[in-house]
């Protein structure tokens, strides 16, 4: 697979030069915070659109604040860094990138001063076939007072890793986490939505979930304005999962990924994607690529130079 150059602390470098010291907290404890961002190639516009960059940078800053990291770059500098990644690698295809702030860069205070890198990569879709076979994990989502999932640090993702490995060992594709109260939280790296009694439902933001940017896009725009349906944000019980008509994960990386069964209970017809999931998925892909031209402020052009 082709490898791309990585933007690291101010310049593009080949992958083999983008290294972290083995004795840094960043390597040993995964003391970092990050964002997973997608950029979409639009053939029609000859442009790469990075989706909701400003919101990703705002969330990165919130994670940095909680970790007491100092913020080494302004938003303008971060926008420029993403542009450099896209133009410097001549990217004209859909790309996923990790934007990572970490401690332990040479020459910086190892407790708080952060280095930053942006690593573009191809990211295949999460599923094969029509959708995912999920299980309710026996691992509990880490709680806000222990290892907060709202804080997007690489270290926090060991919770998702344990659950995902268990799911695979048990013959499923992906886990669904319950939180410490036994209510549905989310997937390992994605937000959970279901359709129940004709309504679109998702756990509320105090359910030990990441405050997902895709979730907000669905709640504030796609469901009410494209489908004409409000999203209900509430507690979801485990047993509701088994009788839901439809379910899906969403996220920058997952986009809209249908779930076909949970603990082997088929949802809806069981082997096909439900009608609302289909409509939400195509509305989302239209939006991120600019086929739906509303909300241009969410699509940062990162290919053509902005200043003529």
Residue 185 is a binding residue for ligand PMP (CB under 6 A) = no
The answer to whether residue 152 is catalytic is: yes
Kindly indicate which of the ranges 60-68, 105-113, 185-193, 225-233 contains the residues binding ligand PMP, using the contact rule CB under 6 A: 185-193
Report in angstroms how near the CB of residue 179 gets to ligand PMP at its nearest: 12
Beta strands in 167-252 (DSSP E): 174-178, 191-196, 199-202, 231-233, 246-251
Strands 132-140 and 174-178: parallel
Of the residues 122, 152, 183, 197, only one is catalytic, namely 152
Q: Which is nearer to ligand PMP, 191 or 261 (CB)?
A: 191
Query: How crowded is residue 27: how many other Cβ atoms within 10 Å of its Cβ?
Result: 15
Which residue in 24, 119, 214, 277 binds ligand PMP (CB under 6 A)? 214
d(CA 252, CA 292): 17
d(CA 263, CA 25): 38
Report in angstroms how near the CB of residue 16 gets to ligand PMP at its nearest: 27
Strands 132-140 and 255-262: parallel
Query: How crowded is residue 206: how many other Cβ atoms within 10 Å of its Cβ?
Result: 11
Which residue in 120, 175, 203, 251 binds ligand PMP (CB under 6 A)? 251
Which residue in 63, 119, 167, 191 binds ligand PMP (CB under 6 A)? 191
Q: In what order do the strands lie in the sheet with 47-51?
A: 11-13, 6-8, 114-121, 95-103, 32-42, 47-51, 299-301
Report in angstroms how near the CB of residue 259 gets to ligand PMP at its nearest: 14
Which residue in 48, 178, 210, 231 binds ligand PMP (CB under 6 A)? 210
Which residue in 189, 203, 274, 290 binds ligand PMP (CB under 6 A)? 189
Beta bridge partners of 151: none
Which residue in 190, 195, 218, 276 binds ligand PMP (CB under 6 A)? 190
Query: What's the N-to-C CA distance of the chain in angstroms?
Result: 34
Q: Which is nearer to ligand PMP, 45 or 235 (CB)?
A: 235
Residues 54-113 interacting with ligand PMP (rule: CB under 6 A): none
Pair of tokens at residue 49 = 């659109």
Residues 116-175 interacting with ligand PMP (rule: CB under 6 A): 149
Report in angstroms how near the CB of residue 250 gets to ligand PMP at its nearest: 6
Pair of tokens at residue 64 = 């940095």
Task: Kindly list the catalytic residues.
Answer: 152
Binding residues for ligand PMP, rule: CB under 6 A, are 36, 149, 186, 189-191, 210, 212-215, 251-253
């Amino acid at each position: 697979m082709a490898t791309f150059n990585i933007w690291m602390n101010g310049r593009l470098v080949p992958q083999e030069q983008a290294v972290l010291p083995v004795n840094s907290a960043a390597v040993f404890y995964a003391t970092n915070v990050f964002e997973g961002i997608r950029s979409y190639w639009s053939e029609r516009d000859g442009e790469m659109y990075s989706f909701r960059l400003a919101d990703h940078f705002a969330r990165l800053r919130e994670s940095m604040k909680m970790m007491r990291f100092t913020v080494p770059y302004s938003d303008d500098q971060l926008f420029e860094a993403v542009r450099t990644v896209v133009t410097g690698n001549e990217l004209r295809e859909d790309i996923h990138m990790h934007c990572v702030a970490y401690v332990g860069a040479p020459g910086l205070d190892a407790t708080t001063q952060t280095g930053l890198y942006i690593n573009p990569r191809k990211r295949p879709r999460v599923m094969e076939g029509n959708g995912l076979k999920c299980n309710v994990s026996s691992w509990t989502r880490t709680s806000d007072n222990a290892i907060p999932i709202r804080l997007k640090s690489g270290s926090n993702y060991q919770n998702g890793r344990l659950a995902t490995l268990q799911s695979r060992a048990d013959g499923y594709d992906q886990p669904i986490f319950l939180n410490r109260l036994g209510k549905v939280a989310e997937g390992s790296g994605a937000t959970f939505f279901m359709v129940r009694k004709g309504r679109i439902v998702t756990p509320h933001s105090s359910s030990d979930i990441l405050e997902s940017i895709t979730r907000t896009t669905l709640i504030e725009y796609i469901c009410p304005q494209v489908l004409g349906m409000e999203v209900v944000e509430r507690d979801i019980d485990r047993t509701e999962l088994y009788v839901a008509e439809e379910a899906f994960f969403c996220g920058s990386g997952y986009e809209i990924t249908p779930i076909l069964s949970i603990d082997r209970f088929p949802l809806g017809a069981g082997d096909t994607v439900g009608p609302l999931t289909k409509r939400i998925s195509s509305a989302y892909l239209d939006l991120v690529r600019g086929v739906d031209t509303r909300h241009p402020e969410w699509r940062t052009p990162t290919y053509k130079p902005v200043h003529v």
